[in-house]
A and B are shown apart, each in its own frame.
Chain A
Amino acid sequence: MPHLDDEIRQLAARRHLPDTHLDRWLSLDEPSRAALMEAAGLLRLRTGQLVVALDLLDEIAVRESVSIASVLARPSLHRLLSAPGSVPERAHAFLDELRAMRFPRLRETTARLEAAIAAMRLPAGIAVLLPRDLASDELTIQLVASDAGELNRLIDLLVEKRAELSRILSMIGGGDEV
């Protein structure tokens, strides 16, 4: 498909895509090359976004033993190509969806933990922060108070929520609920 490959090369040159990534793109099967070209054009992916998309797509395809074209044809991704809304927002959502596909259990676990934190209905002065990428089993609890009365109120509230917080900590550490 010389015409498609020329288009890919031209886009890569405009975006200063690293040679390694261009080579990887050109080495894909034809439907995958074309599908990625379509996504890159419709979402106007910038260099960094294109690099990340190529990496994620490649990894998803290897993990699931499928082609990149079939990943890009999934409704959750395909919808974003032509959905209303700003192009940069759709490009951002596209990469986010790719990340969710690449790390499905991490996404699911994070969502469950975030739901458990939200269910505690903590006031604005208390923030319960999950470890980045759930890489460790440490929960950070942040209190913001500007006077002693407010601080005491937040601490009392935290003590009340001890059981829920312990449950969250256990979930982060691989407790049975995860």
Chain B
Amino acid sequence: MKFELDTLVVEEASRDSALAARLVAALGSSVPVSYVADAREAVRPTPGPDPFGAGKRRMVVLKRHTPFLMACPAGSAKFACCGYLVLVLASNCPMDCSYCFLQEHVANNPAFQIYSNYADSFEELDRLSRSAPGRHFRVGTGELADSLAMDSVTGLSKDLIEFVRDREHLTLELKTKTDEIGNLLQTDPRGRVIVSWTLSPEAVWKSSEHRTASPSARIAAARAVLDAGYRVGFHLDPIIAYEGAEKDYAHLIDELLDVITPGRISFLSMGSLRMTPGLRSAARRRFPHDPMLLGEEVPGHDGRLRAFSALRVRLYRIIQQRLARAGRPVPAYLCMETSTVHERVFGVAPANPATIGERLALG
């Protein structure tokens, strides 16, 4: 996949980094490159009708001065969680999903940032492992950015995989909506890497997931990396309860299971579309004609808008029933839902986050 950038900005302190060299070599002939002493200005919104969209096309290479590792922002004691840890190697993404939470989350610094000192995160990961000997951790890079969107030019996946593949207590999750798997196919993950795809029905892809790979292309890419020794997982997140969604999600599950047998799916997460009022306004401003942003969402206890309870639980159950028909169980869990909802969907209470995270890490 090729994404269009308007400019590449490199902070002086990152000029000699391997990452900057790779990016300048790959993009320098097609995109203007500039060097700045301090990148703080370059990451801020620029004036114009769509500062967030413009930020996606302005790649900034800089050092990260805060920790790379953090708890998943979706995690909360109130929800049935999966114990996921986030490794922040980049911020923002060249694709443009109408519902993307980054529209609110990084509204004040929307440039597409990539951190040149990403190798410092490896020490953080080793420290984490030393702090809890014997525990397994699942760490992913796809929370504030897509893990693979620019991988053909950054090559980050190779370094990451080389780091984790000798560390038995770590499982790396690369999360994507692309079919950018060239580097993965050239690297042996030794069983330590899960590549996960967010999947949506065609209707959602066409309406809301701009510049992403089609659902079929994502499934085909998953099949290819599976055959190359990776584990694969899927996120049905956000699930959008539009008219006709029940049939479309059931069809999507069938399409997935036709290509990848249930026993080879490491996990499948489900989460319904949830938006803070601020995100909804930002998304509606940028995508005023997208009907997927206008479902029957109502404000919940946490202030977020979600499809009303009966509607979304029914959709989860239909998907779960479809998965259950597959013969072998697919390990499925819910994201940002209460234990009660979990019980209504799966018939049992959820395990605690650390346990789920560890189970997913171990595969």
Task: Please list the residues of chain A having a beta carbon within 8 angstroms of any beta carbon in chain B.
Answer: 59, 62-65, 103-106, 109, 131-137, 171-175, 178
Whether the Cβ atoms of A59 and B309 lie closer than 8 Å is no
Tell me the complex Cα distance, A135–B297, Å: 8
**Chain B residues with CB under 8 A of A64:** 291
| Interface: B182 (CB within 8 A) | no
Please indicate which of the listed interface residues A63, A135, A136 has the most CB atoms of chain B within 10 Å of its own CB. Answer: A135
Query: Could you count the A-B residue pairs with CB atoms below 8 Å apart for me: how many are there?
Result: 70
Selecting from B3-11, B34-42, B298-306, the interface stretch reads B298-306
**Chain A interface secondary structure, helix, strand, loop or mixed?**
helix
**Minimum distance in angstroms from A12 CB to a CB of chain B:** 20
Chain A nearest CB from B235 CB (Å) reads 21
Contact of A174 among B296, B299, B313 (CB under 8 A): B313
Task: Tell me the residues in window 267-290 of chain B with beta carbons closer than 8 Å to chain A beta carbons.
Answer: 288-290
* B residues near A133, Cβ cutoff 8 Å: 298-299, 308
Provide the residues of chain B in CB contact with A173, threshold 8 Å: 309-310, 313, 340-341, 344
The answer to whether residues A174 and B289 also contact, given A59-B294, A135-B299, A137-B344 and a CB cut-off of 8 A, is: no
Contact with B288, one of A62, A65, A131, A175 (Cβ below 8 angstroms): A62
Nearest Cβ distance between residue A62 and chain B, in whole angstroms?
5
A178–B310 CB distance below 8 A: yes
Does B317 belong to the interface (CB within 8 Å)? Answer: yes
User: Taking the nearest CB of chain B, how far is it from the CB of A138, in angstroms?
Assistant: 9
Would you give the shortest CB distance from B314 to chain A, in whole angstroms?
4
Interface contact B294-A134, CB-CB below 8 Å: no
Complex partner residue of B311 from A59, A62, A63, A105, CB under 8 angstroms: A105
Query: Are B291 and A136 closer than 8 Å at their CB atoms?
Result: no
B247 CB → nearest A CB, Å: 15
A106 touches B308 (CB 8 A): yes
The smallest beta-carbon distance between B304 and chain A, in angstroms, is 10
Q: Is A171 touching B310 in the complex (CB atoms < 8 A)? A: yes
Q: Is B312 an interface residue (CB 8 A)?
A: yes
Q: Are A137 and B309 CB-contacts (below 8 A) given A103-B296, A105-B296, A173-B344?
A: yes
The 12 sampled A-B contact pairs (Cβ below 8 Å) are: A59-B294, A62-B288, A109-B311, A134-B309, A135-B299, A135-B309, A137-B344, A174-B309, A174-B313, A174-B344, A175-B310, A178-B310
Is A135 in contact with B294, judged by CB distance below 8 angstroms?
no
Known: A173-B313, A174-B309, A174-B312. 5 other contacts (CB 8 A): A59-B294, A134-B309, A136-B300, A137-B341, A174-B311
